[in-house]
Chains A and B, each alone.
Chain A
Amino acid sequence: MRLTPEQLHSLSVRHKAKDLAFEVIGLVVMLVSLLVLAALFAQLVADGLVRINGSFFLEFPSRRAEQAGILSAWVGSLLVMLVTAFAAVPIGVAAGIYLEEYAGKGWLAQAIEINVSNLAGVPSIIYGLLALGLLVYGLGLGQSILTAGLTLGMLILPIVIVATREALRAVPGTIREASFGLGATRWQTIRHHVLPYSSAGILTGIIIGLSRAIGETAPIITIGALTFIAFLPPAPITATPPFLNMDWLASPFTVMPIQMFNWVSRPDPAFHVNAAAAGVVLVAMTLLMNATAIWLRYRARKRIKW
C-alpha cells in the first residue's frame, strides 16, 4: 500500500492526536487517583485535627469521647515495636546474609527462597491465626506484648530479608575479592566490608518493615488484644537495681490501629472524631518512617559511587 504525502500527513496528525489524547487521559487518571487520596486525607485531617492536643496523647481511653486519649495505645505500639525489632532484625538480616553470601543453588536454598517469597504474599490475618494457635495457646504466652511483637516480627521478616539481600547485592564483587585476596575469611569479609557498605540499604528495609508493623491491625486483633486498656504496662526501666524489668512483656496492651478501629466501630459520631485524630497520628507516624526510608535510600545511592 502506497500513501500519498497528504495521506501520510493526515495519518501522522491522527497518530499525534492519539498520543496527545492518551497523554492527557493518563495524566488525568493518575491525578484522579492521587487527588481522591489527597481529598480523603484532607478530610481525615480536617475531622481529626480538633482533637489533637497535648492531653489527647496523655489521656487513657474513656467512655466520654471528649476526654478519651491515646496514651495506652501509643505506649503499647512503642513497646510492641521494640519486641518486633528485636525479633525480626537479627533473624532477618542473618537470613538475608545467608541467602545472598553463603547459599548455593541447592534444593535447600531454593526451598528457602520460595518460602520467603510465599510468606510475603500470605495475608496478615493468617499470621494472627498462627500466633493465636501457636503463641497464645500452644506456648502459653497469652495475649501479651511479647506475643504481639513476635507476631509482627514474623510478619515483617520477609521484608527485612528481601531488603537485606538487595542491599548486599548492590555491593560489587570486587570488594569481596579484594578482601579474600588479602586472606580474610568469608565472615570477616562480610563483617568488615560488605555489611558496613550495605548498612543504609538494610536500615531502609528495617524502617519500611517496622512502619508496616506499626499500622497492622488484623493479626493483633486476632490474637485477642483488648480494645479498652486504661493502664500502662509496667515500666521497662526501674529506679532500683537491676534497673530492667521484663514484666511488661507479659502485660495486656492495646496499639494505635486497634484504638482507632475501636473508635471507628462505635455508632456514636463523637468517637469518629477521635478515630480521625488517631488516624492522623497513625498516618503521620507511618509516613514519617516511610519518608525517612525513601530519603535514606536516595542519599545512599547518591553518596556511594562504585
Chain B
Amino acid sequence: MATEKARIAAASRLRADSPVARRRRLVERLVQAVLFLAAFSAVAITVAIVATLLIESATFFRHVSLWEFLTDTQWTPLFENARYGIAPLVAGTLTTSLVALLVAVPLGTITAIYLSEFAKPRVREVVKPILELISGVPTVVFGYFALLFVTPLLQKFMPGLPGFNMLGPGIVIGIMIVPYISSLSEDAMRAVPMHLREASYAMGASRFQTALRVVVPAALSGIVASYVLGISRAVGETMVVAIAAGQQPNLTFDPTEAAATITAYIVQVAMGDLPHGSIGYQSIFAAGLTLFAITLFFNLIGHWVRRRYREAY
C-alpha cells in the first residue's frame, strides 16, 4: 500500500517536472497574465479619465477660482469679457433632465407594469425586442426629431415658444429613455417570485392590487435603479440638446427658454477651432469634470439603492 502511494507520487513528480508539463504551466501563466492585463484596462481607463479631467481642469482653476466657478451666474468663457460661472450650464442640464424624467418615469413605469403583469406573453415577446431596438437608435437622429418635428409641433400649441428651447429636447430625451426604464423595471418585476403573487391572489387581491402593492414594492430596488440610470442618461445626453436647445448659457429653469447644457457647451467649443491650451479649451475639461461628478453621484446612488433595498425572497 505504502509502496503504491510512493510510486504514484514519484510518477506525478516525474510528470510535473517533464518538459511538456513545464511548458503547459508556462503557457497557463502567460495566458493568465495577458487576460489580467486586459481586465485591468478597465481600471486604467477610469484612472485615465479622472487624471485627464483633473490635470486639464487644474490649469483652468489656476486662472479661475473655484468660488467664482461655483457662484458666478454667467458662463461666457469665449467672450471678451469672460465670466466663468458653471451655474447656467448646470441649470440647463437639470431642466432638460427634469423634463425628460417627467416624460420617461410615468410612461416607462406604466409600460413595465403592463408588460410584466398584464400583457400576454405574445405581446411581451413582440414588444421587448422592439424596445431593445429603439435603444440602439443614434441620438443624433433624436436631435433631428426634437428640432424639426417636436418643437414645431409644440409651437402650434404654444405660439410664443422659440425655435430653440429646452422643452422639445427634454420631451425627446424622455421618449428616448422610456425603453431603458421600462425594460429594466420589467426585468426587476419579472424577477419577483410567483409565490408572492399567488399568496396575494389567495388573499383575494385583484391583479391590479397585486401589481401595485406586492410586485412593485418587491421590485422597488430594481425600479429605482432604472430611474437612476435614466437620470444619468438624461444628464449625459449630448446630441439632442446640442441640436435643439440653443447652445446659449442661460441661468433659468424655465423649459420654454433656450439654454445650453454642460454637454452642449463641450460640443460647441469642440466644433470651433480653439487653440490647444487656451482657457476656452481648458474650460471644457472643467465642465466635463462637473458632468462626471454629477453622473458619478447618480451612479453611486444607483449602486447604493440596489444594495440597500434589495429584497431577499
User: Which residues of A approach B to under 8 Å, CB–CB?
Assistant: 15-16, 18-19, 22-23, 25-27, 29-30, 32-34, 36-37, 40, 43-44, 90-92, 94-95, 97-99, 102-103, 111-112, 115-119, 121-130, 132-134, 137-138, 154, 157-158, 161, 185-187, 208, 211-212, 214-218, 221-224, 227, 257, 260-261, 264-265, 272, 275-276, 279, 282-283, 286-287, 289-291, 294
Cβ contact within 8 Å between B243 and A94: no
Residue B206 at the chain A interface, CB threshold 8 Å: yes
Cβ contact within 8 Å between B291 and A133: no
Residue B175 at the chain A interface, CB threshold 8 Å: yes
User: Which residues of B approach A to under 8 Å, CB–CB?
Assistant: 24, 27-28, 31-32, 34-36, 38-43, 45-46, 48-49, 52-53, 55-56, 106-107, 110-111, 113-115, 118-119, 127, 129-130, 132-134, 136-141, 143-145, 147-149, 175, 178, 206-209, 211, 229, 232, 235-239, 242-243, 263, 266-267, 270-271, 273, 276, 284-285, 288, 291-292, 295-296, 298-299, 302-303
| A-chain residues with CB within 8 Å of residue B46 when the two chains form the complex | 115, 118-119
Q: State the CA gap A103–B229 with chains docked (Å).
A: 27
Closest 8 CB pairs of A and B: A123-B236, A26-B114, A215-B138, A94-B38, A15-B206, A98-B35, A218-B238, A133-B52
Q: State the CA gap A128–B288 with chains docked (Å).
A: 10
Q: State the CA gap A30–B53 with chains docked (Å).
A: 41
Majority secondary structure of chain A interface residues (helix, strand, loop or mixed): helix
Cβ contact within 8 Å between A264 and B138: no
Cβ contact within 8 Å between A112 and B42: yes
Q: Which of chain B's residues has its CB closest to A136's CB?
A: B276
- A sample of 11 more A-B contacts (CB under 8 A), given A16-B206, A187-B28, is A22-B113, A27-B114, A33-B107, A40-B149, A112-B40, A124-B238, A129-B53, A134-B52, A185-B27, A261-B140, A287-B137
Interface centre among A102, A115, A126, A265 (most CB of B within 10 A): A126
CB distance from B138 to the nearest CB of A (A): 3
Q: Which of chain A's residues has its CB closest to B50's CB?
A: A130
Given A123-B235, A129-B266, the answer on whether A260 and B141 have CB atoms closer than 8 Å is yes
Q: State the CA gap A32–B110 with chains docked (Å).
A: 12
Cβ contact within 8 Å between B49 and A33: no
Given A222-B267, A286-B136, A286-B137, the answer on whether A122 and B292 have CB atoms closer than 8 Å is yes
| B-chain residues with CB within 8 Å of residue A40 when the two chains form the complex | 145, 149
Given A94-B35, A123-B238, A161-B42, the answer on whether A282 and B114 have CB atoms closer than 8 Å is no
Given A125-B238, A264-B140, the answer on whether A91 and B114 have CB atoms closer than 8 Å is no
Q: List 10 A-B pairs, Cβ < 8 Å.
A: A22-B118, A44-B145, A118-B46, A121-B229, A125-B238, A134-B48, A215-B138, A221-B271, A257-B239, A264-B243
| A-chain residues with CB within 8 Å of residue B52 when the two chains form the complex | 129-130, 133-134, 138
Q: State the CA gap A283–B133 with chains docked (Å).
A: 10
| B-chain residues with CB within 8 Å of residue A137 when the two chains form the complex | 276
| A-chain residues with CB within 8 Å of residue B107 when the two chains form the complex | 29, 32-33
| A-chain residues with CB within 8 Å of residue B114 when the two chains form the complex | 22-23, 25-27, 29-30
Q: State the CA gap A275–B141 with chains docked (Å).
A: 9
| A-chain residues with CB within 8 Å of residue B35 when the two chains form the complex | 94-95, 97-98, 102
CB distance from B100 to the nearest CB of A (A): 13
Cβ contact within 8 Å between A102 and B36: yes
Q: Which of chain A's residues has its CB closest to B41's CB?
A: A91
Cβ contact within 8 Å between A115 and B43: yes
| B-chain residues with CB within 8 Å of residue A30 when the two chains form the complex | 110-111, 114-115, 127
